[in-house]
Structure 1
């Protein structure tokens, strides 16, 4: 039940951001991390209980912020990897286009100026 509440809250948070014109992977990553924090604090159901020899309130806050930071880092890493793959693909296309351009220019030069290639003895 708590998982469904958290998922619905995340969906509505991202939809609200988009409706306000806030776009970009990092904003969605922030919403996910914030949702993890709220879930760990028990705002979407039962709290996760861990014993660290601290008071329960301090332990809850430390765990929640650690999980939020980890979730935010994971989401940002995934976004960076996706963008890196896109850039790599674009660079491959650029290299192909440059090679094609050089070949076409070579053919044009050979056709228009045949003495450049044939006049050397």
Structure 2
């Protein structure tokens, strides 16, 4: 293999390492920005709560707190989206029952209409659950396919680079 190809492969590896370093640096700054944004949001929630007569947290405040706690105590392999959806559904139900500040006003309906509303709500919830399960399975399948494709592409690229280096006679690329 000629020296031009060897040099190009060497530069390719150098650029790959440089890109990885830049990505790690950007991830670090995004994490700091996210932490600062969360602190500002918590401060805003506290000011709103102090301004209200009702000192109970709102549903959004409680959701943020529970999601943060769940993230910190997450078990490896646990489905994060499913856990977050379950938390959201539980808090939404509790908000409908009036457990949080600034929740919806209670409905003034008779028992017959309430029963009909509950039956339709239960059917809608079951349908939404079935759709969500189907979507989550499809996303998992697509994610695993994409992961497998990434692994194969990485190994093909690594094999090509090793083959090119072998063909160059194990030349040092940076010379």
TM-score by structure 1 length?
0.51
User: Does 1:27 pair with 2:110?
Assistant: no
User: Does 1:56 pair with 2:107?
Assistant: no
Distance 1:13 1:79 in 2: 25
TM-aligned CA distance change 1:88 to 1:101, over 3 Å: same
Distance 1:100 1:21 in 2: 39
Structure 1 stretches of 4+ moved >6 Å: none
**Structure 1: which 5+ residue stretches go unaligned?**
48-53, 112-121
By how many angstroms is 1:76 displaced? 5.3
**Larger RCO: 1 or 2 (CA < 8 Å, sep 6+):** 2
Distance 1:43 1:76 in 2: 28
TM-aligned CA distance change 1:31 to 1:71, over 3 Å: same
What is the match of residue 17 of structure 2? none
By how many angstroms is 1:63 displaced? 1.4
TM-score by structure 2 length?
0.39
In the comparison of the two structures, how many residue pairs are matched? Answer: 97
**Structure 2: which 5+ residue stretches go unaligned?**
1-57, 97-103, 107-114
Q: Please provide the CA RMSD for this pair.
A: 3.6
By how many angstroms is 1:90 displaced? 3.6
Post-superposition CA distance 1:47-84 (Å, at most 9, x none):
9xxxxxx8332222221232234345435544554554
What is the match of residue 50 of structure 2? none
